[in-house]
Structure 1
Amino acid sequence: MARVPLEPGRWGGITRQELAPNVWRARATYRDFAGVVHKYEARGASGAEAQRRLEDKLHRAVTDATSDGLMPIAPDTRMNAVFDQWVTEKQAEAQVVPQSMEKYVGVIDRDLRPALGQLRVRE
């Protein structure tokens, strides 16, 4: 049976390994909100210290991913919030002309919001 993938914004089990006397390494994989898996590691004088340092790195990765003003999209996120986020991201792109943005927002507001706006992403 296939392994269930990490949920976005989560990390897998942390492993510890003693590399030399007083040199430990802790490792874990982290899946960002775009679905990309990253490998993280940290070292310390003990297994616990290496793990604490790794957890600090992982917490910063989650914080950095959500500090750009955009919320992470989760299975429970309403489609209206997804539409709003998409519009925000498109407006930040320099190559999108105003006429195109007006057209995109019109289609979202006229067609997509009434039909799908209150659904959750997983639905």
Structure 2
Amino acid sequence: MQSLQLVRFALQMFRRKQRARLVDLYGERAEREEALLSVRAAYEARVSARRFRTLQQEAREGLVAEESLVRGTVEGNEVDARCVVGEQAAQALLLTRAEEAARSAEQTRMAAAACLPKSPSQQQQQQRKRGYCCEEEL
């Protein structure tokens, strides 16, 4: 009987050691899984940070490109507007000078016509225009 008790005791000890070893294995496995999760989280954080920096850089480049495009468009529009205003001013100046030249030529022609001796028929026509009646026509 003692040998049976001894075998029983040895079997109990063996089972306790197996359970302790199993608990240790589960503990180690849990630690490894925790470490793996923390490493995975750190890796994902690095990847996310890298993606975020890349997106920020692309956004900056996009803003710079948009700003330069807008600036170029605005400057181009300003240059176009200046050219249009300059052309309009030049046309207005030419038109004003042409009108002044026409007025001057008309005044010179009128002055020259006033100085010339008039024929009797022209004098009668002018008098009719002015409202004077000639005695010959009455």
TM-score, with normalisation over the residues of structure 1?
A: 0.31
Q: Specify which structure has the higher proportion of helix.
A: 2
- Bigger RCO of structures 1 and 2 (CA < 8 A, at least 6 apart): 1
TM-score, with normalisation over the residues of structure 2?
A: 0.28
Q: Specify which structure has the higher proportion of strand.
A: 1
